[in-house]
A = this chain, B = another copy of it.
């Protein structure tokens, strides 16, 4: 089976920003994403409100260039003021060509 090496971006964000961050990654060319409801603690304890629910984990498989664009944008707009963290890992994706837009 042929696999394609791609970058996986994982973003943990307070729930309030979920839809905005999905829009952000789509804007830069991600073909899709997967989101999970998670909980967590970090340096900033406080969320917008408990009614908003916990954090969200958003994962997207993208090419290296798209990854670069997404993390630049995240860094410029959200890292300072919101409870957001992100990391990159290298994965081998099956039928990976469909994720390169």
Chain A residues engaging chain B, CB cutoff 8 angstroms: 1, 3, 6, 8, 10, 12, 22, 31-43, 55, 57, 61, 68, 71-72, 74-75, 79, 85-96, 98
- Contact partner of A33 (CB less than 8 A), chosen from B40, B75, B95, is B40
Q: Report if A40-B31 is in contact (Cβ < 8 Å); known contacts: A1-B75, A75-B1, A94-B85.
A: no
Copies in the complex: 3
Complex Cα distance, B65 from A7, in Å, reads 23
A6 to B95, CA, bound (A): 21
Residue contact B40 to A32, C-beta cutoff 8 Å: yes
Query: Given A33-B41, A42-B31, A55-B34, is A94 in contact with B87 using a C-beta cutoff of 8 Å?
Result: yes
